[in-house]
Amino acid sequence: DAGVIQSPRHEVTEMGQEVTLRCKPISGHDYLFWYRQTMMRGLELLIYFNNNVPIDDSGMPEDRFSAKMPNASFSTLKIQPSEPRDSAVYFCASSFGGKNIQYFGAGTRLSVL
Amino acid sequence: AQSVTQPDIHITVSEGASLELRCNYSYGATPYLFWYVQSPGQGLQLLLKYFSGDTLVQGIKGFEAEFKRSQSSFNLRKPSVHWSDAAEYFCAVGRNSGYALNFGKGTSLLVTP
């Protein structure tokens, strides 16, 4: 199994640009989670999906952030427009059955200049 | 609301010495508890988990953790630390309102020769 795959691994962009982060969960997993990691706030949940449906997006910081899961094997997290304070490492995780182990991708390190 | 506290931001131990990383949680029911490890530039890997049953759980890489309800703690231990154990360690609790995880701020482990 290839594990959770995130792309790109690194993204550098300028303030105001649109950023799209991608995630491919482990095949057969029915839950997908997006987390953000910063020095100040640690690891925070942004949103999670069950069977491609968003269940809890209360962690999405503001309307500039949006996430989609068009099918069971792909999800995107979009920031438009990006701001320097969005600089962080964004992790995607998936699990089979929500209260089971979450498997994390390697993360996308985003730098907004 | 559930919360997780890792009191130690940094810990330094000598190779071969024993290790204990502290984790305290706030939760209204029997929690789902996890320890994850993050190596530099990598995603999070599950070390061990507690759902129910035996309060002493064994994990990978020689780690173990003990759930103590009376102390609201889930401390991670290893009898003899190896240089390769140097990493960031995160304690997490499963949310009762859904299936995401609340993470502690992490403990950075440095192993000296």
pLDDT tens track for A83-103 = 999 999 999 999 988 666 899
Cβ atoms of residues A44 and B4 within 8 Å = no
Question: Which of A43, A48, A106 is facing B99, going by the closest CB pair?
Answer: A48
Cβ within 8 Å, pair A102-B45: no
Report DSSP letters for B19-62, one per residue: EEE--EEE-SSPPPEEEEEE-TT--EEEEEEE-SS-SEEE-GGG
Percent of chain B with pLDDT over 70: 95
* Nearest CA distance, B94 vs chain A (angstrom): 7
- Segments of chain A with pLDDT less than 70: 1, 98-100
Q: At B46, is the pLDDT very low, low, confident or very high (cuts 50, 70, 90)? A: very high
pLDDT at A98: 65
Confidence class for position B9, pLDDT limits 50, 70, 90: very high
Asked if A19 and A36 count as a contact pair (C-beta separation under 8 A), the reply is no
What is the pLDDT confidence band of residue B49, given thresholds at 50, 70 and 90? Answer: very high
The arithmetic mean of pLDDT across residues B83-95, rounded, is 92
Bond preceding residue B79 cis, omega within 30 of 0:
no
Chain B neighbors of A7, CB-CB under 8 A: none
Across residues B102-111, what is the average pLDDT? 94
Return the pLDDT at A107.
Answer: 95
